[in-house]
Structure formats: C-alpha cells, structure tokens
Structure 1
Amino acid sequence: MSILNLSAYKFVTIEDGPAWRPLVTERCNALGLKGTILLAPEGINLFIAGPVAEVRAFIDYLRGDALFGGRFADLQFKESLSEKQPFRRMLVKLKREIITMKKPAIRPELGRAPSVDAPTLKVWLDRGHDDTGRPVVMLDTRNAFEVDVGTFEHALDYRITKFSEFPEVIEQNRADLEGKTVVSFCTGGIRCEKAAIHMKEVGIDHVYQLEGGILKYFEEVGGAHYTGECFVFDYRTALNPDLEPTATAQCFGCRAVVPAEAQKSPYYTPGKTCPACHPDAKTGNSQAA
C-alpha cells in the first residue's frame, strides 16, 4: 500500500484559474502525481494519487504557497491507500463549475449548508431520529449506477443520471422530505453540499449535508447503516467500508459497473465487454468470448 489517494474540494472564489493551471500542472508533474484537478470560479475539486511523501508535499503546497493567497489553508482531504496508481495521467482542467448543477446563483462560499459529521449521523441512524426527535431521511445525490454499488439503508434514490437533474427531481418529490430531517450525501461531499444549499434555497427545512461524504463516514465510523460498497471515479472502481479496493470492476466498453459475480460471465472480457454491452448477451449465445 505505497500509493496515497487524495480527494478534496472547496467552494471558494477563484479568479486566477487560467494563470494557476500551468503552475499547478508543473508542480504535480514534478512530484510524479497523477489524477485530475478542476479549477472553476466557484472553487477547486481534486482527485490525485502518488507516493506518500510526494502527496504530502503537494498538500503543503496547496495549503501554504503564496500563489493561492491562503484560499486552501483549511482544505480538508480524504485519504486512502492502494497498491497501484489508480490514474493514468495528470490533468488540471478549467471548468465553469466544479460540479455541474446548472444553477449559477448558488455560491457556497457565501455560506455553507448545515452539516452533520459521521459520528453524530451514526447516532441519529442508530435511534432513528435526530436530537430533536425528528425522523431522519438519507438522500442519495449520486447517479443511479453509483447507488447500485452501495448506499445507506432506506436512502431515497431518485435514479438520476446526472447531477443537473437534481433540482427537478426534488421539486417533484418534495412530499418525501416534509417534516423530516434530510441528510444529503454523496461520495466525498461536493454534490451533497450543493444539493443541501439548493434545498434550503427552495424552502425545504431541516436539511444537512453529510460532512465529507461516504468516504469520510467510512473513515470515521465504518460501514454502520450502509449496504454494499462505494463507487469511486478511478481504476479502483469501488471501496469497502475499510477503504480497501474491492473486486468490483467497471467495463471499459460501456462503463457499466461489473460486480465480482458478473465477471464470471462468458460475456465479460476485461477491457472490452461485459454482460451489459456484449453483442451476444441479448441473444443468450453462451459461446461469447
């Protein structure tokens, strides 16, 4: 386990993204890091990996370099270890939003939605209500294929295919949330933070985001009240509650998630096809490669 994997985000005004991009790229390459960093006017979002010492050096760079004017001094990271580098290359991209909701009026740096940390949420779920006695409902803000890999018990899942659908499905399903404490969650915290802010803005009361998302929950309390694994957007595909890579894979042909059992199918060829996309799967031809 010699590779340290980092994920982090922060909503903060960034005006110098185009000037920062080549400098951040140069520092990552010099340290031998791989992954993706998104820079947008609303903030930063990153998934990177590399040798432990080099990743720690990059953390110090982000938090302390004068280039960033202290914007990332309090940047919090979610960490996990792996045996292999899960990314193929290093990319630093300029984007309009670090997570696309198509709601540009949302400016999280002007005020975060209330959050609940993992130990507190576990207590709420243990007893079935929050500290006021209000029932707690978990709201999954991820895409449907991610939810299928694993989610919290009894979580609301509106089968969205992209995050920009979230405002519409919430408007259609407001009745599910009335009179309850709503905890939005996602992989690392970024989507559920935007989701919580949106829900507050449209008048839904008693909304919290899960601080740090599923990965921070796993790190702090394990898999209590969670069923399955957590999909991650790198070559590990999914992590268990111990933050270890699992046997779950992703098809490089159609991007479908392929559980360990499905990998035994004659329609599964790593790097090519799976039961969801193999041309013979619908006809039931068992002679498929």
Structure 2
Amino acid sequence: MDSEDLAESVLIHLDVETLIPGTLKHEKCEISTTRKCYSYIKKRTFATFVASKRVSSSPTDTSPVWQCCDETFSDPSSVHKHVSNLHAEEIEQLTTAALDQMLSQSEEAFQKQEDPNESQSDDPASWIPSTSHLSEEELSKGPGEVLLYYSYCQIRDPKLICSWQSELCSRLHLTGKVRVATEGINGTVGGTKTATKLYIKAMLSHPIFKIMQVEDFKTSEGGAECFSELKVGVYKEIVPMGVDPDTISYRLAGTHLEPEQFHKEVQSLLEDASSKNDTILLDCRNFYESKIGQFKNCLAPDIRKFSYFPDYVEKNLDLFRDKKVLMYCTGGIRCERGSAYLRSKNVCKEVYQLKGGIHKYLEQFPEGFYRGKLFVFDDRYAISFNKDIISDCSYCGAPWDQYQLCSTDFCCQLVLSCSSCRQKGLTACCPVCQAKEQRSSSSPSPGRPHREECECTDSRPRIPNDTL
C-alpha cells in the first residue's frame, strides 16, 4: 500500500465526522483549545495507523500479528514503539490532514458561532462590572489576595484589551502586571478579595476569555501591596521566551497532566531506580527560583531568564534524546511554550507538563514531592506551602530561603543573606558588589539607570552543560 492509499485508508477509518467539537464534548473530551483537539486526534490517528498494520485473521483473534516495514510484530508494545520511532512524520501528516478535514466538515457550524473578537465593544468601559454598590473603602481595604492566571486565545486587537485591563484594574484598585498579545493574556494582580472576585467575574464574562474557568485563577495570600504599581502592556509573547509564537506555537505543547497524575509519575520515578535512565523531571524556571524550592531529583538548568531556555535545549539535545520528560514551572505558562520548543526538536520520546504548575500541585500536595518555597515575581519573592528550607545563606551557609535585593547601588540581583550576616553588613549579592558597597556613599548616585545584573554575573555560564 503506497503512502497515498495508506493516508486515504487511515482517514476513512478514522471517521473524522465523529471528531467535530460537539461530539467530542459529548464524549467528555475537553477540547477548549485547538492544541487539545489536535492531541486527541493524534491519539486516534496513531491507533488507526497501528490497526491498519494488523494482519491477523480476525479482530477477535487472541494472537494478533502486525506487519510493517517488512517486519512482523507479535505484541502491541513492539509495534507501537516501531510506529513511534519510524513513522512519526507520517502520523503528524495524517493528524494534520484529519484535523483539516474535521474543520472543513464543521466549517458551517463554526461560521454560525459568534466571533468573540467581533462581539466585543470598542469601549473598554462596557466590559467593566458595576461597582456602584460598593464603597471605595470596600474595594481598597480588607482581606486581600494575589491572582495568577493566563489564557492562550486569539486576540485581534490587543491594544483594546490592554486599555480594558488598565481601566478594569484601576477601577478595582488592583496592582500587578498584565501582558497582552495576539496569542492571549498573562497576568498576576493583587488587591482585596472583593476586588479580585469582581476581576475574575469580568474576565469570565468577556467574550474572548469565556473559555476560562474559575479554576484557571490561582490564588495566594497577599494584596495590592505585593506590587509597587500596575503595569499593563502589549507584547509579542505573553511569556518572554524570545521565540516568535508563529514559529513555535503553544499549540505544539506537551501533554497536560493533572496534579494527581503528575504526583503519581514523580512517585514512580523516585521509587523505580530503572526509570531514572529514561525519564527527566525538568524544572524550566530560572536558577534563583529552583534554588529555594524544587521537586526531588529534578534537573534544574542554571539559566537566569526563560529566554535562555531555547539555547539551553539546543546545547543539550543529547540529554533529552529518547527520554520521557516531565516538565513543570510556577503556574504552567512557561511549560506551554517550553514544552512546545522541546517537542519541536523531535528528540524526546514523550513530553508532559504539570497542568496549573507548582501552584496547583501544592494546593493538593503541600507535603508532596515539591519541597521548599515557591518563588513569585512580586515583592513577596516567595510563598510557603511546607516548612522545608532547601537553600543556604550565601555567606555563612546556614539554612535560609528569604530573598532580598542586593544592597549595592544599581544592582538588582537577589541575595540569600541570613539575619545574622545582614547585621554584619553582608547584604550584597557577591564579593564584587560587597566591595562596591563599602566604597560607595550611602545615597544612590542621581541620573544613573539601574542595571539588571552586575559584573559578577558575567562569569556565570549562559548555557551550562547539565548532567544527571
């Protein structure tokens, strides 16, 4: 059977008419994004491809046989491995064809649905909930919290959404950071619980973000005081990986694992010594994040920015070759693009990611396999779910995990310096900065911009060669 005949056979037996969104939902298959739909169809395509290689006399034969590439396979695992290794490109092509055919067949149904971008008003105020029943004091004072969320979705006019977010957050007295792009939105905001509740309500009622659910908003103790100001802007990416989203899309991301599933995978990895040879538990955060908290036996790259992650992958492809990768980050968003980039290299056997990130995992397993603090990008620096301290004071080596900014003028590095060492004046990030601190005046020099990092970081390898 040539490739064209095989493709036609697979597509016929795949029965793409049963894959339209309405039917998938009826089968309780979540496809709120194109990526999930693609993943579902790929599994069905793989199964159909393997079935097309079966040559046993009857479907009910207890001893099935498969033939492919002039080889005969007598057990499912062997033929599955063969197809995964040698026919991955064909599976991808067939999956794409099936998806295109499904979309074509259901085009009329999609056209009848209202485009959320078309239904939104040009006036940002029209999507802001009424606060007339609340006083300014109720919105700005009282118990508070911090929200962390993201949503990948098509936004045709990110500037309009940016204006809406600015007005919404200001009206609700929220501070924080919100990134908007054509690929979606990513935000972390703090305020009173009254205000954050209204914020979530406004997000879920907006046509573009109605695909989100309340569970997509991760919460932690805090408030407006956790951020110095409100920053809302339009960007190319909602998480800065430094790779064009049109080149590496979140739609290529790895398979999501619920916290319960991820917990079981990590448990198996820790209990089964043999699995360590073919499974990598990958922390795709920055080194200062993983330093104060991480999963046991993880691989934590020594990178300072997420934009270094692609280069790290390029330099360490052999590390991931033929491996099963379990990836995690703070809230899940970096894994969306990070796993997509890793999968694009076609070296891993499988790529999975923790749905909802460490944040959601710790909500269910505070005493699980993640130990230490969870780093957050606000004035708290870290939040705690368990009492473990896995890091040390940079000066005396005593257990310590509370970050503070380097005291040297114009340096924005984070420092782990315990109370005792700080009382001794050891408050800089390194000896280089400490020497500068001793020579400098007590007041910062006017007119000079802050540096992102000091000279002492030049010696840090940008993309180190990590080994397990």
Q: TM-score interval w.r.t. the shorter chain? A: 0.7 to 0.9
Distance 1:21 1:84, change over 3 A: closer
Q: Does residue 57 in structure 1 map to residue 198 in structure 2?
A: yes
Look up the equivalent residue of 1:47 and give its one-letter code.
Answer: T
Alpha-carbon distance in structure 1 between the residues aligned to 2:241 and 2:435: 35
Partner of residue 271, structure 1: none
- Give 3-state SS (helix, strand or coil) of 2:307's partner: helix
Go from structure 1 to structure 2 and tell me whether the alpha carbon gap of 1:111 and 1:71 turns closer, same or farther (over 3 Å shift): farther
Once the two structures are superposed, the pairs formed by residues 83-122 of structure 1 within 5 Å of their partners are: 85-104=225-244, 105-108=247-250, 110=251, 112-122=253-263
**Unpaired segments ≥5 residues, structure 1:** 269-273
Residue 124 (structure 1) aligns with: 265
Matched, 1:261 2:418: yes
Cα distance in structure 2, aligned partners of 1:214 and 1:180: 22
Aligned with 1:218 (options 327, 338, 362): 362
Deviation by residue 1:78-122 (Cα, 9 ceiling, x = unmatched): 1112377211222211111111222221222x4542011222222
Cα 1:278–1:183 change in 2 (3 A) is: same
Could you say what secondary structure the match of 2:155 adopts? coil
User: 1:249/1:263 Cα in 2 relative to 1: closer, same or farther (>3 Å)?
Assistant: farther
Mark the CA change 1:205 to 1:247 in structure 2 (over 3 Å): closer, same or farther: closer
Find 2:176's aligned residue among 6, 27, 35: 35
> Normalized per residue, which structure has more helix?
2
Q: 2:292, 2:401 within 8 Å by CA — same for their partners in 1?
A: no
Cα deviation, residue 190, structure 1: 0.9
Matches of 1:75 and 1:111 in 2, distance apart? 23
Alignment partner, residue 77 of structure 1: 217
Q: Is 2:353 the counterpart of 1:174?
A: no
Q: 1:100 to 1:83 in 2, by over 3 A?
A: closer
Change in 2 beyond 3 A, CA 1:156/1:280 = closer
**Using a 3 Å threshold, how does the CA distance of structure 1 residues 146 and 73 change in structure 2: closer, same or farther?**
closer
Matched, 1:156 2:299: yes
Shift in CA distance, 256/227, structure 1 to aligned 2, threshold 3 Å: farther
Q: Displacement, 1:75?
A: 7.2
Larger RCO: Structure 1 or Structure 2 (Cα < 8 Å, ≥ 6 residues apart)? Answer: 1
Instruction: Give ranges in structure 2 of 5+ residues lacking alignment.
Output: 1-141, 388-399, 443-468
Instruction: Tell me if structure 1 keeps the 8 A contact 2:192–2:224.
Output: no
Give the aligned partner of residue 343 of structure 2. Answer: 200
Deviates more, 1:1-10 or 1:43-52: 1-10
| Compared CA separation, residues 38 and 155, structure 1 to 2 (3 A) | same
SS in 1 for 2:225: coil
Which position in structure 2 is the counterpart of 1:281? 434
Q: Deviations over 1:125-173 (max 9, x none)?
A: 2232799x85432111111222222211221122112222212211222
Query: What letter is aligned with 1:85?
Result: E
Shift of 1:32: 1.1
Q: Contact conserved, 1:134 with 1:179, CA < 8 A, in 2? A: no
What amino acid is aligned across from residue 258 of structure 1 in structure 2?
V
The one-letter code sitting in structure 2 at the alignment partner of 1:22 is: S
RMSD: 3.0
Q: For residue 310 of structure 2, give the secondary structure of its aligned residue in structure 1.
A: helix
After superposition, the C-alpha distances for 1:237-260 in whole angstroms (9 at most, x for unaligned) are 1112259xx971321643333346
8 Å contact kept, 2:253–2:340: yes
Question: How has the CA–CA distance of structure 1 residues 93 and 180 changed in structure 2, closer, same or farther, with 3 Å as cutoff?
Answer: same
SS of the residue corresponding to residue 226 of structure 2 reads coil
Is the counterpart of residue 248 in structure 1 residue 406 in structure 2?
no
Q: Do structure 1's residue 186 and structure 2's residue 326 form an aligned pair? A: no
